[in-house]
Amino acid sequence: MFCRLRLSCGCPIGVFHRKLSSAEVSTALRPFYFRVHPDLFGKYPEQRKINEISLQQLSALLEAQQSSRNIATPILPFYLRKNDMPDGQFELVKIKLDSNDLRETVVKVLNACDISTSYIDKIPRMKQDKGRLVREEFNEAYEKYKDEFDKATRMKRKVDEKKAITNVIDWISENSQQAKEKYESTQATRGQVKSLIEQLCKTYGIKEVKYDSGWNISHIRGALQSLTSMASQHPQHMDNLKDRTIALGQFTGVSLDGDVYLNIIDVRHDSLKKVSQEDSALTEIPQYEKALSSILRNIHICRRKFMPKVSAAQYCSHLRQLITSIGDFYGRGSKIPDTVPESLQKYEIVVEPEAGPLMVSPTGQFITPSSCPADELIAFIAKHLDDAMLLLTEYSINKHVEKALYKEVKERFQLLDLIKDDSITPGLMILCCQRLLTRIDTIDEKLRGNILYVTHYYSVLSEGVLCIPWNFK
């Protein structure tokens, strides 16, 4: 039987200043997610990209604060959708999050977007310690958010379908010339980008500089100019980039591939000083992945084939969190069901940030958020082993078919380039390429000399890239 001891101040030890739970944070920020979620910006790739990056950085900050770690975060820009604004117009807010307190961070995000904080205000700052928070709290909050978001997404899709372009042939005919003209008009900018990259590589011994093709070429030039200026002002930090691949992207840090990522929106010199610290996290990853594999019957720990980039330090944190949860599962005397094979080495699992879904990906990988309770994860794996194996087999076949079709489409249409969004799996790309080839007689000349980007929407990007949905009509 436990005794409630009291300190000299008269406060019971069982009472403490607690942090918000993951479920409480998710519930409080639900109205915010409905305004900024990237899926709501399908026809506006630049706004979508900005929100994706900012959401990823916000997620990392919330995760760090829940783990009592301090990380620096730049000012986060978000485009907000509002019901009273015309389609295509958004409000841009820039949120400065300089507090180390999780509750204060959530409140600042809501206040910046004029969203009520009544839910968070009702949560007491002091709470009696009664052991672990009930896991169902997280599941209930997540399911409620997911259901509401799915409903909103379905409604938006119906509206978009009414406005949808009905014929890819007509759309390409109307927009291919405009795309070529935009491509020609940005030729000087692309030349400047190439020159800046060559200068950086030659001067500082950088192996390669790359960037996400979804970014506006002017943004790329601006980021490279910032990096060049920073290098001249702080040359002592550039040694950290020698013989390394530099990537302009969605975060600042060292990726799981060892590339040094610099936030395209905010290139800062202090990020270069931390490269060695991030490298130390990179060396720890194999140990954590081996530990996780060993307690899940030698399942293969890997990265999603089409996942956003994360830093090595963040990934280590995710692995530690899940390893601890599974360790507690075994510590309570729980076991993996007898229906699960003694070895899972033919299967793959990906550990992602705690806000993600528990699912089997279209390529057959188990995707789990790092915060997923171990009993739920293991039950999910046991239930979906056949589904995962079927999709893994299908992917291994599709990736070879996709490669052949990709080459055929690019050559027969004489495209400058053929690229696809990371979310377009080989199966979807195969369907798209096959349908394009059936229309070669009608759109061959129109597509010739263009850059074609397969994604989920129609658009002509500012640098002259033609975007089409994979499932075009």
Q: Which pLDDT belongs to residue 144?
A: 59
Sign of CA dihedral 394, 397, 398, 399: positive
Q: What confidence tier does 152 reach under pLDDT thresholds 50, 70, 90?
A: low
User: pLDDT, tens digit, for every residue of 41-65?
Assistant: 777 888 888 888 888 888 888 878 8
Q: Which pLDDT belongs to residue 120?
A: 86
Question: Is the predicted pLDDT of residue 226 greater than 90, yes or no?
Answer: no
- Top pLDDT among 100 and 320 is at 320
Q: What confidence tier does 331 reach under pLDDT thresholds 50, 70, 90?
A: very high
- Top pLDDT among 277 and 335 is at 335
Q: Give the distance, in angstroms, between the CA of residue 182 and the centroid of all CA atoms in the same chain.
A: 29
Q: Which pLDDT belongs to residue 87?
A: 73
User: pLDDT, tens digit, for every residue of 251-298?
Assistant: 777 888 888 888 776 666 666 767 777 788 888 999 999 999 999 999
Question: Is the predicted pLDDT of residue 232 greater than 90, yes or no?
Answer: no
Q: What confidence tier does 131 reach under pLDDT thresholds 50, 70, 90?
A: very low
Q: Report the DSSP pairing between strands 260-263 and 245-249.
A: parallel
Pick the range with the lowest mean pLDDT from 299-313, 345-359, 453-467. 299-313
Mean of pLDDT values over 373-389 = 94
Q: Which pLDDT belongs to residue 21?
A: 74
Q: Tokens standing for 451?
A: 């850059």
Helix (H, G, I), strand (E, B) or coil at 211: strand
Question: Is the predicted pLDDT of residue 6 greater than 60, yes or no?
Answer: no
Q: Which pLDDT belongs to residue 165?
A: 61
**CA end-to-end span of the chain:** 69
How distant, in Å, are the alpha carbons of 7, 369, 391 from that of 358? 43, 6, 16
Q: Are 462 and 182 in contact, with CB atoms under 8 Å apart?
A: yes
Pick the range with the lowest mean pLDDT from 182-191, 405-414, 420-429. 420-429
Report the distance separating Cα 463 and Cα 17, nearest Å: 52
Q: Which pLDDT belongs to residue 59?
A: 82
Q: DSSP letters along 235-249, please?
A: GGGGGGGTT-EEEEE
Q: DSSP letters along 316-327, please?
A: HHHHHHHHHHHH
Q: What confidence tier does 14 reach under pLDDT thresholds 50, 70, 90?
A: very low
Pick the range with the lowest mean pLDDT from 87-91, 189-193, 266-270, 288-292. 266-270
Domain ranges in the chain are: 22-122, 194-276, 278-395, 398-469
Question: Is the predicted pLDDT of residue 473 greater than 50, yes or no?
Answer: yes
Mean of pLDDT values over 26-39 = 82
Q: Which pLDDT belongs to residue 270?
A: 64
Q: Report the DSSP pairing between strands 465-469 and 459-460.
A: antiparallel
Its pTM stands at 0.59
Q: What confidence tier does 307 reach under pLDDT thresholds 50, 70, 90?
A: low
Pick the range with the lowest mean pLDDT from 190-199, 290-299, 331-340, 454-463. 454-463
Look over the chain and give the mean of its residue pLDDT values, rounded to a whole number. Answer: 82
Out of 1-5, 108-112, 150-154, give the one with best mean pLDDT: 108-112
Q: Which pLDDT belongs to residue 9?
A: 39
C-alpha closest to that of 20 among 149, 130, 133, 140? 133
User: Amino acid letter at 471?
Assistant: N
**H-helix or E-strand spanning residue 107:** helix 102-112
